Amino acid sequence: MTALDRVRRTQRVLGATVIARSLMWGIAITSAMLGLSSFVDARGLSATIVVVSVLAGVVVAAAMLWQSRRFASVSRVALWIEEHVPTLHYSLVTALEQGQSPFTAGMDATIARHDISATTTRAVRRHLLPATAVLVIAVLLLYVSPSGVLGRSGAIAGMGRLGGAAGIPAGSRLDDIGVRITAPAYAGGRTTNLDDPSTVAGLTGSTIAIRGNGSADGLTATQPAPLRISPAGRGWSISLTMPAKPTAITLRDRSYERIIVLAPVADEPPKIALTSPRRDTTLRTPRLVVPLNANVSDDIGLTSGYFEYLITTGSGEIFKARTVNTPVVHFDGARSSTLSATLDLGSLKLGEGDVLSMRAIAQDGNTVSGPGIATSDTRTIRIARAGEYDSLAIEAAAPLPLDTSAVSQRMLIAMTEKLVAEQPKLSREELVKRATDIGNQEDGIRRRVQQILTEAEGAGEDVAEPKPGDQPATVEEMESPDVISGAKNPDLKAAYTALWQAVRSLKIAEPSPALPPMRVALAALDRARLANRLYLRGAPPKIVVNIERVRMTGKDKGSSSVRTPRSFADSARVDLSRRFYAMVDLLEKDPARALTELALMRVQALQMIPGFAAALGEVSDAIRAGRDATPALLRARRALEAPPEVRPLSQWSGG
């Protein structure tokens, strides 16, 4: 082997060493930068950081190569050997320069006696060992970084994306996911698509499909039970149904984690309001046609509705009840409608003391958790007993529009006056009809007066109390005032006589002559009413109000022990408050954990404090988008803590 061969061999070894060392340093620099960056921002490596890291590695590697460019020259390599093997005494350089010299053989022999390979190996080891150590440390740093870039190929994936490599993303496969929500069939099956959401809101029972990029291998999803992840084209997908209660799906891709909050929207049951009759009432006779009306609405759609009557008969402890339903009305998915029916009390054969309860019922088309059924308030119509007319205690109740049984003498006078005023414009038929109607009602009062009079005379058994369905008496059938004795109550007798005259005039359609006796009857009835009342005068009861007790100031004598305020009763809110402030502290130190905690808090808050949950969602969105989350955090705090209580000073407090 000539001297030139030895130098060329050394040059090849040194060249390879230089290239290897440069690459190792470049990779180490890139790895170290990626690792450190992931420590700083655990949300993941941005493309910028990846680019900068790679460029830094390339620059370092290139610089080292440039620095070792001398090994490209054979003479420089020979000088390097002479430098490391001083005992050659420049025989190698001389042999190369004086290749035609007769002393070349001697110089080759001298060179052959030196072990240049061993020297070269030591030099290679000296250069490569530090580079190898640095590379190992940098790779370890990358491996243990929060985002686990190396082992999970995150950084490499980033680089792959930069290089335009299509296919399986080497980074987190939990980014850029899409969610498709399909409402239940009964709600129209409408589909909604969400891009990269942190919260998925939809009707309970909706079908949710979550799709992401990359292979499904190694991905896990829990809710908290494990969910099946299926390959879908070049990505993966999860299919599930929106649960009834808020929950969170935890997706994991190697060390990546992502939480998606499921916020179910419950299908509200229908709302129904009975608009007619508006109030409970008590009738003296069950002769009334009651219009039934109800307004119905639903957030999704109504299917059907009907009215239900419950008729209770009996007294004391013995009651019988029967239920009657009106025909079902179908709404065909309308979101609002009205329910109407007419109830003729006469057809129900109600008796004294019977109670009729009525309500409206509607249902929606919820086939997932329903159907939602709504019932209106119940209205009650009670038929009074004869003996309780003077002692009925009735809550405020407006007479029904057709409740003619309660029309007073004063009202009949007003109706007659109106009829007289309109008489010139009325046809004969209309006049007869309206006058006869008033006359029939006046006749009812006449018969009641007659009953009272005959009872007072001890002949009550001869006159029957008007019964439901009784036909009004004709003029010929009316008992003449001459046969009614008024010895014990002359006022009532005068009223009866006047009523008799008024009824007679009204039933022959002569309202004008009926008015004077009607007024006389009213005055006589007033006199009789007052005359029958007894007011026993005496000292009224003296009631002393315990002012101290009313003002809750009387019994408290003070306490010997110091009172300490009790803990906040709303422990769940307190717990959320504690977690909220801990999460705020975490935002600076560990944003990834803070985001996870945010999602978990939202799940808990969705049912308890919806406003707080919504504000947490804004916080989460702001952080993910890199915006300032402070306003959203303030809103969340306000929603979590009760609003300040404003207590104006009483004008009596002197303030």
Partner 1 sequence: MMSEFVFCTGQYDSGDWDSAPVLPANIIDSIARYTSIAVAPSGVNIPLGSDAIFEYPFVYLTGHLPFRFSEAERRNARKLVDRGGMLFIDDHNHDVGGVFHNTAMEELTRSFSKPVDLPNDHDIYRCFFKFDDGPPTTSHELNGWGDNLVHKNLQAVMQGERIGVLYSSKDYSSEWNYDPDAKRFSTVDNTRFGVNIIVYALTR
Closer Cβ to partner 1, 45 or 495, answer by number: 495
What distance in Å separates the CA atoms of residue 49 and residue 38, rounded to the nearest whole number?
A: 9
Q: Judged by CB under 8 A, does residue 589 bind partner 1?
A: no
Closer Cβ to partner 1, 404 or 604, answer by number: 404
Report whether 254 contacts 247 (CB < 8 A): no
Q: Judged by CB under 8 A, does residue 164 bind partner 1?
A: no
Closer Cβ to partner 1, 542 or 555, answer by number: 542
What distance in Å separates the CA atoms of residue 355 and residue 350, rounded to the nearest whole number?
A: 8
- Please provide the DSSP assignment of 569-580 as one string: S-HHHHHHHHHH
Closest approach of Cβ 647 to partner 1, in Å?
Answer: 14
Q: Of 320, 425, 428, 533, which one interacts with partner 1 (CB under 8 A)?
A: 533
Question: Measured in whole angstroms, how far is the alpha carbon of residue 327 from the centre of its chain?
Answer: 35
User: In the window 281-310, what residues touch partner 1 (CB under 8 A)?
Assistant: 282
Binding track, positions 376-395, relative to partner 1; x by CB under 8 A: ----------------x-xx
For residue 138, give both structure tokens: 């940098």
Q: Which residues contact 174 (CB under 8 A, 6 or more apart)?
A: 212, 251, 253, 256, 257, 258
Closest approach of Cβ 403 to partner 1, in Å?
Answer: 9
Q: Of 40, 543, 562, 569, which one interacts with partner 1 (CB under 8 A)?
A: 543
What distance in Å separates the CA atoms of residue 650 and residue 631, rounded to the nearest whole number?
A: 36
Stretch in the footprint of partner 1 (CB under 8 A) among 121-129, 290-298, 485-493, 526-534: 526-534
Closest approach of Cβ 542 to partner 1, in Å?
Answer: 6
Q: Judged by CB under 8 A, does residue 537 bind partner 1?
A: yes
Closer Cβ to partner 1, 181 or 283, answer by number: 283
Q: Of 166, 550, 625, 646, which one interacts with partner 1 (CB under 8 A)?
A: 550
Q: Of 86, 541, 565, 626, which one interacts with partner 1 (CB under 8 A)?
A: 541
Q: Judged by CB under 8 A, does residue 522 bind partner 1?
A: yes
Closer Cβ to partner 1, 480 or 651, answer by number: 651
Among candidate residues 286, 291, 529, 531, the one with its CA nearest the CA of residue 410 = 529
At CA 459, angle to CA 456 and CA 463, rounded to 5?
Answer: 105
Closer Cβ to partner 1, 100 or 391, answer by number: 391
Q: Any long-range contacts for 536-545 (C-beta under 8 Å, 24+ apart)?
A: none
Classify residue 599 by burial, with Cβ atoms within 10 Å: 0-12, 13-18, 19+.
buried
Closest approach of Cβ 43 to partner 1, in Å?
Answer: 55
Q: Judged by CB under 8 A, does residue 535 bind partner 1?
A: yes
Closest approach of Cβ 547 to partner 1, in Å?
Answer: 5
Q: Of 487, 545, 562, 646, which one interacts with partner 1 (CB under 8 A)?
A: 545
Closest approach of Cβ 546 to partner 1, in Å?
Answer: 7
Q: Which residues contact 21 (CB under 8 A, 6 or more apart)?
A: 64, 127, 128, 131
- Strand, coil or helix: what is 303? strand
Q: Judged by CB under 8 A, does residue 649 bind partner 1?
A: no
Alpha helices in 389-482 (DSSP H): 409-422, 428-456
Largest Cα separation within the chain, whole Å, is 178
Stretch in the footprint of partner 1 (CB under 8 A) among 218-226, 462-470, 489-497, 545-553: 545-553
Q: Of 425, 428, 542, 557, which one interacts with partner 1 (CB under 8 A)?
A: 542
Closest approach of Cβ 407 to partner 1, in Å?
Answer: 8
Q: Which residues contact 622 (CB under 8 A, 6 or more apart)?
A: 628, 629, 632
Query: What distance, in Å, lies between the first and last C-alpha atoms of the chain?
Result: 115
Closest approach of Cβ 553 to partner 1, in Å?
Answer: 10
Identity of the residue numbered 481: P
Closest approach of Cβ 307 to partner 1, in Å?
Answer: 25
Bridge-partner residues for 235, per DSSP?
213, 232
Closest approach of Cβ 552 to partner 1, in Å?
Answer: 9
User: In the window 391-420, what residues touch partner 1 (CB under 8 A)?
Assistant: 392, 394-399, 406, 408, 410-411
Helix (H) or strand (E) holding 87: none
Stretch in the footprint of partner 1 (CB under 8 A) among 254-262, 468-476, 620-628, 645-653: 645-653
Binding track, positions 245-284, relative to partner 1; x by CB under 8 A: -------------------------------------x--
Closest approach of Cβ 284 to partner 1, in Å?
Answer: 8
Q: Of 164, 226, 327, 540, which one interacts with partner 1 (CB under 8 A)?
A: 540
Among candidate residues 358, 345, 347, the one with its CA nearest the CA of residue 279 = 358
Q: Judged by CB under 8 A, does residue 546 bind partner 1?
A: yes
* Residue pointed to by tokens 């941005």: 46
Among candidate residues 435, 414, 346, the one with its CA nearest the CA of residue 383 = 346
Distance set, CA 508 to CA 315, 450, 498, 514, 613 (Å)? 43, 21, 16, 10, 76
Closest approach of Cβ 550 to partner 1, in Å?
Answer: 4
Tell me the angle at which helices 409-422 and 428-456 cross, rounded to the nearest 10 degrees: 160
Closest approach of Cβ 399 to partner 1, in Å?
Answer: 7
- Taken in order 26, 27, 32, 38, is the CA torsion positive or negative? positive
Number of residues interacting with partner 1: please give it, by CB under 8 A: 31
Among candidate residues 450, 503, 514, 510, the one with its CA nearest the CA of residue 474 = 503
Closest approach of Cβ 382 to partner 1, in Å?
Answer: 12
**HSE-CB of 196 using CA atoms within 13 angstroms:** 9
What distance in Å separates the CA atoms of residue 352 and residue 344, rounded to the nearest whole number?
A: 16
Binding track, positions 324-363, relative to partner 1; x by CB under 8 A: ----------------------------------------
Stretch in the footprint of partner 1 (CB under 8 A) among 232-240, 346-354, 494-502, 646-654: 646-654
Q: Which residues contact partner 1 (rule: CB under 8 A)?
A: 282, 392, 394-399, 406, 408, 410-411, 522, 526, 530, 533, 535, 537, 540-547, 550-551, 650, 652-653
